[in-house]
Amino acid sequence: GAGVSQSPSNKVTEKGKDVELRCDPISGHTALYWYRQSLGQGLEFLIYFQGNSAPDKSGLPSDRFSAERTGESVSTLTIQRTQQEDSAVYLCASSLTGTTKAAQYFGPGTRLTVL
Amino acid sequence: GESVGLHLPTLSVQEGDNSIINCAYSNSASDYFIWYKQESGKGPQFIIDIRSNMDKRQGQRVTVLLNKTVKHLSLQIAATQPGDSAVYFCALYSGGGADGLTFGKGTHLIIQP
């Protein structure tokens, strides 16, 4: 079946603007994760959704970052008042469940550039 | 907190040779480990996983070895091909708290013709 998809693939914005990034997980996957990857670095966990439970926001770097998920479907990551240090690739992943450890499958990412 | 590291940032191997990519971790409570392959401009791709009740697992041309005593994980790729060129990340679940994976910084595997 289809994998994780993300849009847009690239986003260039000006400092201070708000941006929204979208993730469509694999159908049937109850767990959804957002990560950030800076150039040449590993992945930094941001937020995790599992079913209808309250999301784990422990990885969000500041209150400018927020995310929502509609049921067990689409998720949007919103960054308000973007700063240059927000420039990175934002990756979304989904897995069958978050309660028992399972492999996460990643989308292609959204490359965000803040000028 | 735990840390996940890789011994070499870049590994260069001859096409056809076997590759071994290493990863060390510090959290002895970690019980699930995954190797990902990331090609330029793409998201990480799942390769193989292993749980802590195993010390070896094999896939197609890949083998993962887990040594819990020294907290070391390795990925072996047999008969390396040009398409294996990528950055390889080990990742583990950090247990309690966030359910996201903790990733190492990655090893860039370069295949020499």
B53-80 residue pLDDT tens = 999 999 999 999 999 999 999 999 999 9
B96-106 residue pLDDT tens = 445 567 888 78
**Which of B101, B107, B108 is the best mutation test for A, with the most CBs of A within 10 A?**
B101
Task: Give the pLDDT score at B2.
Answer: 40
Q: How sure is the predictor about A50, in pLDDT bands with cuts at 50, 70 and 90?
A: confident
Task: Give the pLDDT score at B93.
Answer: 79
Let me know: does B75 contact B20? Beta carbons within 8 Å.
yes
Task: Give the pLDDT score at A22.
Answer: 97
Q: Hey, what amino acid is at A32?
A: L
Q: Which residues of B54-70 are buried (b: 16+ CB within 10 A; e: fewer)?
A: eeeeeeeebbbbbeeee
Q: Does A43 touch chain B (CB under 8 A)?
A: yes
Q: Hey, what amino acid is at A81?
A: R
Cβ-nearest to A103 among B49, B100, B103: B49
Q: How sure is the predictor about B1, in pLDDT bands with cuts at 50, 70 and 90?
A: very low
Mean residue pLDDT across chain A:
90
A61-93 residue pLDDT tens = 999 999 999 888 899 999 999 999 999 999 999
- Tokens 């010390």 belong to residue: B55
Cβ-nearest to B46 among A42, A105, A108: A105
Say yes or no to pLDDT of A54 above 60.
Answer: yes
CA quadruple A23, A28, A30, A35: dihedral sign: negative
Mean residue pLDDT across chain B:
87
**Which of A43, A91, A92 is the best mutation test for B, with the most CBs of B within 10 A?**
A43
Residues of A whose CB is below 8 A from B43: 4, 91, 93, 106-109
Segment B69-96 mean pLDDT: 90
DSSP state of A96: S
How far away is chain B from the Cα of A14, in angstroms, using its nearest Cα? 23
Task: Give the pLDDT score at B97.
Answer: 45
Q: Compute the distance between CA of residue A57 and CA of residue A24 in angstroms, rounded to an integer.
A: 19
B12-51 residue pLDDT tens = 999 999 999 999 988 877 888 999 999 988 899 999 999 8
